[in-house]
Amino acid sequence: MSLYQASVPQLKKMLNNLDKWLDAAVAHATKKSFEPSVLLVARLAPDQYSLTRQIQACCDGAKFTAARLAGKEAPKHPDTETTLDELRARIRSTLEFLDTITEADFADAKGRMIALPFMPGKVLTAADYLNEMALPNFYFHMTTAYAILRHNGVDVGKIAFIGSLNFRDA
């Protein structure tokens, strides 16, 4: 299994799933006659990230995973989004960056050592980074974003979380 296969296509699919959950959030707000932006400051615990920050973290997780494994510079996003439209633009911008990362960019990924800003002087192998840190962290923020929506009554389900699967005939 390649590091590319285990990361980029799935990160892109999940960000597209997230975008669809936001459609469901808008539909729920419209039905209940409240401003969708009310959901953006919702959080599950007072000392946990709001939905806005969870969505930013999903985008950052995807961006940095792809950039670090490909040995490329990630685009900067200053976390200034305050509206649903701005957050959706952030998701689109992240997807556009991921679209520039090809399997060829991962040719040297296997031997790459990954440094993380919070642990100076230390590195992870690319595989350890992906398995132990990048994927758990990405799914953590994706699931928490989803959970905030679910907790607030938005009509999303497990199938909307997982998204499409590449089934073949048995």
Residues with Cβ < 8 Å from 19, sequence gap 6 or more?
Answer: 88, 91
Q: Is 168 in the site for a second copy (CB under 8 A)?
A: yes
* Nearest Cα to Cα of residue 88 among 5, 16, 163, 168: 16
Q: Which stretch binds a second copy (CB under 8 A): 23-31, 83-91, 97-105, 158-166?
A: 158-166
Figure out which of the listed residues 37, 50, 93, 137 binds a second copy, where binding follows CB under 8 A. 137
CB atoms within 10 A of CB 68: 22
Q: Is 108 in the site for a second copy (CB under 8 A)?
A: no
Q: Is 16 in the site for a second copy (CB under 8 A)?
A: no
Report the alpha-carbon distance of residue 29 to residue 142 in Å, rounded: 20
Q: Is 2 in the site for a second copy (CB under 8 A)?
A: yes
Three-state SS at 138:
helix
Report the alpha-carbon distance of residue 24 to residue 168 in Å, rounded: 29
Report the alpha-carbon distance of residue 5 to residue 54 in Å, rounded: 25
Residue 89 vs 113, nearer CB to a second copy: 113
User: Which one-letter DSSP state was computed for residue 71?
Assistant: T
Q: Which stretch binds a second copy (CB under 8 A): 18-26, 30-38, 86-94, 107-115?
A: 107-115
Q: What is the amino acid identity at position 130? A: L
Residue 89 vs 162, nearer CB to a second copy: 162
Q: Is 135 in the site for a second copy (CB under 8 A)?
A: yes
Question: Could you list the residues that contact a second copy (CB under 8 A)?
Answer: 1-3, 5-6, 9-10, 13-14, 44-45, 48, 110, 113, 115, 119, 121-125, 127-128, 130-133, 135-137, 139-140, 143-144, 146-147, 150-151, 153, 158, 161-163, 165-170
